[in-house]
Structure 1
Amino acid sequence: MRILHCLLTREFAGTERHVAELANQQALTHDVTVLLERHTADPRTGGDIARHFLPSVRIVRANRAGYLPTLFRVVRSETFDIVHTHLGKASIRAGVLKVLGLMGKTPVIGTLHNAYRARTYGKHDGLICIARWQQDSLPEGCQYQSILIANWTVPSALCPLEQAMLREAFRRQHALPPGAFVICAVGRMVEEKRFDCLLQAWRQAVLPTDTYLVLIGDGPERVRLENVCADYRERIIFAGYRSDVPDVFCAFDGFVLPSRREPFGLVLLEAMAAGLPVCATAAGGVLDILENVSDCLVKPDCIDALAAGLVRLRQQPGRTWDLSFHVLEEQALKTEQFYRRFC
C-alpha cells in the first residue's frame, strides 16, 4: 500500500512518537510518506519528530506556501491508497480538500489523539480511536466507521548493563543518594498535566526521607511550578526535557501520572513496560490501561487522593505487567486491516 501520514506540529510528545513508530513499522512492508510542517523542532526543547523516522520513510515538508497547498500538491501529483491524518491542524486541512473534491477517491482516515470534533473529522471516511472514551463519545453516525486500536509501547533496546549504567549516570548527575527511592513524572509542563497538584500532594504525603521526586519535561508552566515549590523543594528535582524516554525509566523506582485528562496515557504504558509500579489519575485512556488494577488509580484533581496514592506507591516493589494487548506489530496490522475496509 501507498500510505500518506499527515501531521502538523512542532514538538515531540506522545502523538509524534505514535506517528513515528507506526510509520516505521508500516515502512517494513509498505510505501510510506509523512507530510510534516516546514520546521518541526520544538523551539523550547529541541525535540523533533524528523529524527525518529527510519530511512525507509519518505519525509515531505510543507513549503513556503503553507501546509494546505503542499498537501494539495502531494495528493494531486501522487497516488496514495490511504491518507492518514493526526491531530487537528492536519486533519482540518485534509478535510478541506475532501470537501472540495480534491482528494479524488483516496480514503481519508484520522486517528483521534484527543476528543472528536465534527469540524475536524466530520469529512473523514474512517476514524481510529485509541481509547474507549473516544469511541463512546462519537456521534451515532460515526461509530460504524470507527475502530478502537489502542496505543502500544516499544520496549527499551538497552541491555541490562546499559540500563544499569544509565541509572547510575542519571542518579549521579542529579546528586541522588545511594539507595534512594525515586518517583518520576514525565510530560509537557502545561496546566492539564496537573504537576501543580502533584507538588501539593507531595508536600502533604508523609513519605520516608529517602524518597525523591523527579519531574522530566519542560513547558510554559515550568517556571511557575518551580516557584510554587521554592519553599519546600527538598527532594524535588526538575530534570528538564530528555530525548531518551522511555530508556531513562530504568533510573527510577516508581511512576506517577497526575493529569486531569489523558487521551491515552502513552507515558504510563512506557513506565509499565520498564517494570515500574505506578500511580495514575482515573481519567481518559488510563482507565483502559489500568481497568483491572484499581489500587493504582486515584481521583483526578484531588490532592488528598494523590497524596495517599504516593504513599501506596512508595510501598510497592517493581512489577511485571501484562502488556500483550499493546504490541506495535499487532496494532499496525489492525490499522492496515482497517485501511482495507475503505480501499
Structure 2
Amino acid sequence: MTSRLRILHCLSTREFAGTERHLAELSAIQAQSHDVTLLLDRNTVDPLTGGDISGFLCPEVKVVRAGRAGYLPALASELRSGRHDIVHTHLGRASARVSWLRRAGLAGSVPVVATLHTSYRGRSYGAHDGLVCIASWQQEALPEKQRDASALIPNWTVPPASTCEARAALRERMRREWRIPDGGVVIGAAGRMVEEKNFGLLIQAWKQAELKPGTRLVMMGDGPERDALQQAAQGRPDIIFTGYRTDMPDLLAAFDAFIVPSRHEPFGLVLLEAMEAGLPVCATAAGGVKDILADAPDCLVAPDSLEALTEGLRRLESAAPRQWDMSRYRIGAAASRVEAFYRRYC
C-alpha cells in the first residue's frame, strides 16, 4: 500500500484565476488519499472582482492563514514544523519566500517543489528541489540543472458536472439576456483584462472582420484594462462585456465558438475548457497554446497580428461544433503524475 503523504501547498495571491482554480482542484483530489494543507494569505479576496479561492476549496483540505505578521513568518513556521513530507509552491510570491528561507537556512529539511504557472525566475525557483512545468516552452527554457529536476505535467480540464438539460437552459437564458438574435453566432473570449491578453487587438480585428449582423462577441472577465476596452467598443452593440463571472466553464454552453488572442499564454486553461465544451476555437500560437493545439494547426494564428486574428474570426463565424480528444487533460492522470514526482524527494 502506498504511504499517505503530508502535503503543504503554498500560495500568496488575492484573486481567483487559473492558478487558484488549478490548486483548488489539485488539492481536492489529493485530499482523497493524502493529508493536504494550504497556506494562504490572511486576506485572499480580489478587491476588484471579489474572486476568492476560499469558496472553491474542498472541506478536507486544511487551510492555514498567515497572521498579522505576514506570510513569511507563517511560512517559516510551517516549513520547520515537521508536519509536512513535501512542500509545493505556486507562483512567484510564495515561491520566492521559500527560496529566501532555504538560502538563509531557515526552512528546515523538508523537500520543496513548485509548479511553474508562468516563467522561470532563478530568484523565485532556484532553491527548489524540483519543478513541475505545465508547458513545453517552460521546460525548454530552464537552466540545465533545473531541467534535469523537472517534469512536464500539463494542466487539465474537468468535464461539466451539470446535465445537458441544465446547460441547454443556461444557453437559452444567457442568449436571451445578451439579446442574441435568432440564428445569431456567439463568439466568446475570456480572461483577466490585462495587456498580455491582447483584447484590444481582438476588438480591432472584430471591427475589421465585418461579420454578419447577427454575430456577437461576448467578452468575459474584468481587470485594469476593462474601461479602455469598453471605450474602444463604444457604439458597438455587437460587442458584449459580461464582467467577472463565477459560472465558468458552464457558461461556455452559451457560445458557438471561442477565441484566445493572447500575446503569451503560459498554458491556456480557458482554451481547454472551450474545447471540452465542444467549441471550434482559434488561438494565437503563443506559449502553452502550441502544445494544446499541436494536432490542430488550422486553429492557430500568428501572435499580435491584426490580419491573422481577423481571418480567424471569419473562420469561426462559419465553423461547426468540434469534438476534441481530451484524454490527455484529465485531472486523475495529472494528480498521479504529480504524486510520482513528489516521491522522487520523499
TM-score > 0.5, shorter chain as reference:
yes
Corresponding residue of 2:145: 141
Corresponding residue of 1:305: 308
Aligned partners of 2:57, 2:44: CA distance in 1, in Å? 13
| Equivalent position amino acid for 2:74 in 1 | T
Corresponding residue of 1:108: 112
1:75 equivalent in alignment to 2:79:
yes
Corresponding residue of 2:277: 274
1:282-338 per-residue CA deviation (whole Å, 9 max, x = no partner) reads 000000000111110011111110000011111111111001111100000000000
Contact 2:180 2:214 survives alignment (8 Å):
no
Corresponding residue of 1:191: 195
Deviation at 1:77, TM superposition (A): 2.9
- Structural mapping, 1:163-242, within 5 Å: 163-231=167-235, 233-242=236-245
Aligned partners of 2:63, 2:111: CA distance in 1, in Å? 20
Length-normalised TM-score, structure 1:
0.98
1:157-206 per-residue CA deviation (whole Å, 9 max, x = no partner) reads 11011001111111122222222110000000001100000000000113
List runs of 5+ in structure 2 lacking aligned partners.
Answer: none
1:247 equivalent in alignment to 2:250:
yes
**Secondary structure of 1:12 counterpart:** coil
| Equivalent position amino acid for 2:66 in 1 | A
**Secondary structure of 1:77 counterpart:** coil
| Equivalent position amino acid for 1:63 in 2 | G
Aligned partners of 1:74, 1:64: CA distance in 2, in Å? 16
Contact 2:188 2:257 survives alignment (8 Å):
yes
Aligned partners of 1:82, 1:164: CA distance in 2, in Å? 43
Aligned partners of 2:145, 2:70: CA distance in 1, in Å? 33
| Equivalent position amino acid for 1:6 in 2 | C
1:294 equivalent in alignment to 2:288:
no
Aligned partners of 1:178, 1:217: CA distance in 2, in Å? 25
Aligned partners of 1:72, 1:103: CA distance in 2, in Å? 6
Corresponding residue of 1:321: 324
Aligned partners of 1:38, 1:253: CA distance in 2, in Å? 40
Corresponding residue of 1:262: 265
Aligned length: 342
Contact 2:29 2:335 survives alignment (8 Å):
yes
Deviation at 1:74, TM superposition (A): 2.0
Among candidates 143, 158, 162, match of residue 154 of structure 1: 158
| Equivalent position amino acid for 1:134 in 2 | Q
Deviation at 1:103, TM superposition (A): 2.4
The alignment yields a C-alpha RMSD, in angstroms, of 0.9
Corresponding residue of 1:63: 67
Moved over 4 A (4+): none
Deviation at 1:78, TM superposition (A): 4.1
Length-normalised TM-score, structure 2:
0.97
Corresponding residue of 1:331: 334
Aligned partners of 2:198, 2:59: CA distance in 1, in Å? 37
Corresponding residue of 2:121: 117
List runs of 5+ in structure 1 lacking aligned partners.
Answer: none
1:13 equivalent in alignment to 2:20:
no
| Equivalent position amino acid for 1:320 in 2 | Q
Aligned partners of 1:184, 1:172: CA distance in 2, in Å? 16
Aligned partners of 2:130, 2:117: CA distance in 1, in Å? 14
